[in-house]
Amino acid sequence: MVSQSAEILAMNGFVAVIKRTRRKGSVGFKLSLGQVVVLAPKTIPKDEIRLLLASKSTWILAKLNAQDQLQPQTERHYVDGETLTFMDQELVLRVCLGPFNTGLRGVSELVVRVPEAKPDWVRNALVRWYKLQAQAHIEQRVSYFAPLVGAWPESIEIKTYRARWGSCNNRGQVQFNWKLMMAPSEVIDSVVVHELCHLLHMHHGPQFWTQVRRVLPNYQDAKQWLKDEGHRLGLD
Ligand SMILES: [Zn+2]
């Protein structure tokens, strides 16, 4: 699966997602689904982009406000042509008739096949698909980060939570909300690291945060993203 990795930048009043491009030269901005996306060459350091965004923040905030007024809520209808986020990608939903089956077509289309184009069926098929992706992706990220944290969970479970992203219990089991798969990959990583660090410290004290920051120095940006944008994750 092609997945371009993104970086998160928490600014004063908004959070931006940086997508690295192969192009040389200048930095581009766009507002996509109510979010600021920065297209920047790999050679430009994050701090430089931070300064650039700060200098444009009045303009960006005005644009974001205008967009919010145009579309106060992203209401989903589960019909062909709607867009969905999947980690660092934007996918176009394709609804086709046929036996139940859901999968990616190329890098930008998610095809949901249902016997009848009932929005409920499409939604349920999407939730099942996101859960499967979450299981595979998060297991892989746990394998990557566990040696860095120095703690391995007993089990990894994917759950549906309304108001939390992950959890960890004293039996060493970790749980993650599948809705995270609609967030940028850096945000998913931050929740993985957060829960793995709870295997070392079952609290949010200074020792816990020292471990989180040791593994992910940019944790704060991802945390801010979830605070600002988290309410938009999920399929209701
Ligand atoms: Zn916690």
Q: How far is the CA of 15 from the centre of ligand 1 (A)?
A: 22
Q: How far is the CA of 219 from the centre of ligand 1 (A)?
A: 13
Question: In CATH, what number is assigned to the domain containing residue 150?
Answer: 3.30.2010.10
Question: Do 55 and 154 have their domain in common?
Answer: no
Q: How far is the CA of 155 from the centre of ligand 1 (A)?
A: 17
Question: Do 197 and 220 have their domain in common?
Answer: yes
**What does the pLDDT look like over 180-191, one tens digit per residue?**
999 999 999 999
* CB contact at 8 A, 6 and 186: yes
Confidence (pLDDT) at 223: 94
* pLDDT (average), residues 216-226: 93
Q: How far is the CA of 166 from the centre of ligand 1 (A)?
A: 8
Does residue 64 lie in a domain region? yes
Asked whether residue 73 carries a pLDDT value surpassing 60, the answer given is no
Query: What is the rounded CA–CA span in Å between residue 105 and residue 189?
Result: 25
Question: Do 42 and 125 have their domain in common?
Answer: no
Identify the three-state secondary structure at position 62: helix
Between 214 and 2, whose confidence is greater? 214
Q: How far is the CA of 128 from the centre of ligand 1 (A)?
A: 26
Asked whether residue 155 carries a pLDDT value surpassing 90, the answer given is yes
Q: Indicate the number of domains in the chain.
A: 2
Look up residue 203 and give its amino acid.
H
Of the candidates 3, 11, 5, 2, which has an alpha carbon nearest to the alpha carbon of residue 229? 11
Question: Do 97 and 41 have their domain in common?
Answer: no
Structure tokens at 40: 């920047």
Q: Which domain holds residue 135?
A: 83-232
Does residue 75 lie in a domain region? no
